[in-house]
Structure 1
Amino acid sequence: MDAYQRPPTRDSWFAPFSIDLVLKVLYVTFLHPFVAWIVVLCFRAEHMAWEAIPIRVSIAYACIVTVGWTLAAVNRRIAFGLPREVDLSDEVIVITGGASGLGLLIAEVYGMRGASVAVLDVKEMENGEARGVTFYKCDVTDKAQVIKAAADIERDLGPPTVLINNAAIVNGKRLLDLDYDEIDRTLSTNLAAHFYTLKAFIPGIARSELGGTIVTITSVLGELGAAQLSDYAASKAGVSALHRSLTAELKASHPGIRTVLVTLGQLSTPLFYGVQTPSSFFAPVVEPVDVAKDIISAIDNGRAESIGMPLYARWVAWYHVLPASMQKLARWASGVDTAMATFVGRKAAAAASKEKPGVLIETS
């Protein structure tokens, strides 16, 4: 079963070291205003004159960092507006594809913290049951089942306040190798299901006095496209466009609803099992627990947000600004069009996990 092992670099001692980790450390040290001004105070504690070059340089640096943080805060406020009030004891959180992986992780966290959580999935929950989590067997590609689940949830738990559209599938085949049913299934699960859940749950969210939050999970492939991922990339591009259009509509009709767009690179789940990242430093594989932390933080604080993980996911839209020749070079350097050569998929991941229990089997 060696073909289903993680790439060796993922298990090496330096695997966690990435540009994202470097920036995370910098943001709480040298790039934090508090730390920058502490340096100035340290120089003054040594009775250094204000005119001394070291203290002048440190003051200038501290001012630049402070201005940068201030502008970032102003940018977020203008872009996303004021946060809504959140009371977890009154929150009803709906998660599609929440029977395992990232969805289950978020469901379990909120269930343990006192929120009411409803999980929609076609398969039973991986852990059987979880505290505070109610399972509803539902195929989100079937609009009738989604409408019924929405009514059942509102009857059992109350009006929903948070919707997390997490369900997704991957075929990993060339377009000419896909059959028509596979194309329909990908577009139904990854795109059409978003329309169904939004239509079914937004009226209930709008009735809630707490307002609400809608979380959309998409992929950098929606911006880039990739060989052997034409159906998946097309569906994720549609999801991103849907989110932006919906945000504009809700701003006018339901200003109490916040929207969160989560754009991910390669996630460490069997959805892309076998795919190897070309660079663990510049394009690290994202762990579900890190994604869950950011999503939970946005929901807890009632913020609208645009989350990109890892770092390049926040800037991937700039790819289209590059000249065509540089875009081609970037695709070659990133290996985006050859990465699926080692793809084995969710079924192989499950088989590998039975053969070797230590193999990662999280799903999203």
Structure 2
Amino acid sequence: MASNDKLLMLLKLPIYIVYFYLEAFVRMVFLRPSRKEVKGEVVLVTGAGHGIGREIALEFGRLGSKVVLWDINKSGNESVAAEIKASGGEAYPYVCDLCKTDDIKTVSARVKKDVGDVDILVNNAGILYGGEMLKMKEEHIRRTFEVNTLSHFWTTREFLPAMISKKKGHIVTISSMSAKSGTALLVDYSSSKYAAYGYAEAMEEEMDRLGHSYIKFTTICPMFVSSGLVKATTDVNERLLTPKEVARATVNGTLLNRAVVTIPEQLAFQLRIAAWFPRKLNLWLKKAGNLGIQPQYNTKQE
């Protein structure tokens, strides 16, 4: 960048700071956003067979969306589809192994042919083992990243081109609070969710830079959820979130086009405060508060 351009940018900076702060204030106080309509839109949810994915699929089904269900568990997937149909909704279950790119490509082609272009992609599927990093098997670490992170690349590459062509689309990433604060015994999981969070953030910026700001991105960061992945926390008094709580917050955040949804909401403020603390103080607070999970070796998917 030329020196003149840098000088001009510095002169404009105070104006833009004031403008964007005022805009954010006006939007927050006077222009409460309305929820967008998703009736008839195609919503694809990965890991839809149970847990958070199941509840997200049911929520979109109630809103009249055409819900495409992906899961490696055929029976669970078909059970959710049957429940949506029984309530008068549309559901299309597909078995898909997110660790296999060829499988993703094949099933994506079937979805496009059977149902149509995907309007909202919910990258929900996840896996958590939970144990000391040095004791984990290499295959488990690799699988964690294949499901929790790399699958987002492959699903996005399949469905984003049509969104760009239609100038309309939304990609939802189910990340985790462990993507905002790394957690002991979740080194692989935290890392994969950090990567998923960064992926969504970088994709949003890339779409904006390329002139596709109409593609919306929402990233969900819940605390520990009683979906079967986390067996027990180190704090026995800590209440686990229910999959339904997370699903409702996810769908609501998506309909409002929110960039990041933290569950529960107050954690977002706590994270901003913690960002100013010395690193050792944050480590002490987490240890003193007994925050984390107990060792486990869980291979279930969300």
How many angstroms apart in 1 are the aligned matches of 2:159 and 2:274? 35
Task: Indicate the residue corresponding to 2:113 in structure 1.
Answer: 155
Show CA shifts across 1:251-289 (max 9, x none): 233222111111111112111023354554xxx421221
* Unaligned stretches of 5+ residues in structure 1: 1-69, 348-362
How many angstroms apart in 1 are the aligned matches of 2:25 and 2:230? 34
Q: Does 1:186 align with 2:141?
A: no
Preserved contact between residue 278 and residue 335 of structure 1 (Cα < 8 Å)? no
How many angstroms apart in 2 are the aligned matches of 1:103 and 1:110? 11
Q: Structure 2 length normalisation: TM-score?
A: 0.80
Show CA shifts across 1:23-55 (max 9, x none): xxxxxxxxxxxxxxxxxxxxxxxxxxxxxxxxx
Preserved contact between residue 44 and residue 69 of structure 2 (Cα < 8 Å)? yes
Q: Does 1:292 align with 2:247?
A: yes
* Unaligned stretches of 5+ residues in structure 2: 1-22
Q: Does 1:123 align with 2:123?
A: no
Preserved contact between residue 97 and residue 119 of structure 1 (Cα < 8 Å)? yes
How many angstroms apart in 2 are the aligned matches of 1:162 and 1:295? 12
Kindly provide the amino acid, as one letter, of the partner of residue 180 in structure 2.
Answer: E
What is the alpha-carbon root mean square deviation over aligned residues?
A: 2.7
Displacement after TM superposition at 1:319 (Å)? 2.8
Displacement after TM superposition at 1:330 (Å)? 1.0
Preserved contact between residue 171 and residue 182 of structure 1 (Cα < 8 Å)? yes
Task: Indicate the residue corresponding to 1:221 in structure 2.
Answer: 178
Task: Indicate the residue corresponding to 2:19 in structure 1.
Answer: none
Q: Which has the larger radius of gyration?
A: 1
Preserved contact between residue 118 and residue 134 of structure 1 (Cα < 8 Å)? yes
Displacement after TM superposition at 1:324 (Å)? 2.7
Task: Indicate the residue corresponding to 2:191 in structure 1.
Answer: 234
How many angstroms apart in 2 are the aligned matches of 1:153 and 1:288? 26
Q: 27, 31, 41: which is aligned to 1:74?
A: 27
How many angstroms apart in 2 are the aligned matches of 1:193 and 1:219? 16
- Secondary structure class of the residue paired with 1:215: strand
Show CA shifts across 1:271-325 (max 9, x none): 1023354554xxx421221221122223334x23311012453143543421133
Task: Indicate the residue corresponding to 2:39 in structure 1.
Answer: 88
Displacement after TM superposition at 1:141 (Å)? 1.7
Change (3 A) 1:220 1:77: farther
* 1:234-253 pair list within 5 angstroms: 234-252=191-209, 253=211
* 1:133-144 pair list within 5 angstroms: 133-144=91-102
Kindly provide the amino acid, as one letter, of the partner of residue 119 in structure 1.
Answer: L
More off after superposition, 318-327 vs 215-224: 318-327
Task: Indicate the residue corresponding to 1:205 in structure 2.
Answer: 163
Change (3 A) 1:299 1:312: closer
- Secondary structure class of the residue paired with 2:81: coil
Change (3 A) 1:214 1:73: farther
Preserved contact between residue 163 and residue 169 of structure 2 (Cα < 8 Å)? yes
